[in-house]
Amino acid sequence: MVHMKLYLYIDTIERDTLEVALISESLEVLCAKKYIGKTDRLLPLIFVLCQKNQCSPHDFTGICIRHVKSAAFTSVRIGMVVANAFSYFLRIPVYEVKSAASLDLSEPAMGTLGFYACEPHITAPKFSA
């Protein structure tokens, strides 16, 4: 798979489900891997996908991250952090996409901010006004 433009697709929208894929320049899904479990397995999953397909993150020409507004807050954040880290260190664009089947690579960005359906509900307020 060397000498081909590759895009890494990351989907952390569903709670406890990860999906990563390698996508060709012609937007064909070359290989996809789905994992049921916590998002702490995202980076190892990406590296296993690369190893099995004889490529490395240095072969990526862009990162496609699935983004919808109603999704699990923490899972989305972790996906965004990983996408932005690859974007920053490899100096490649990030594309926010609706799904692997409908990729639109017309508006790249160097990093993505992400938008969320609501504020996080991590702790209860300590003081009431």
Which pLDDT belongs to residue 109?
59
Residue 36 pLDDT > 80, yes or no?
yes
Going by CATH, does the domain composed of 6-97 fall within 3.30.420.40? yes
Q: What is the mean pLDDT of the chain?
A: 80
More confident residue, 45 or 102: 45
Distance CA 121, CA 1 (A): 43
Question: Measured on CA atoms in the order 97, 21, 18, 40, is the torsion positive or negative?
Answer: negative
Q: In terms of pTM, does the model score above 0.85?
A: no
Residue 118 pLDDT > 60, yes or no?
no
CA distances from 112 to 28, 35, 95 (A): 23, 24, 8
Distance CA 20, CA 18 (A): 7
More confident residue, 127 or 51: 51
Share of the chain above pLDDT 90, in %: 33
Residue 91 DSSP one-character state: T
**Residue 20 in contact with residue 55, Cβ under 8 Å?**
no
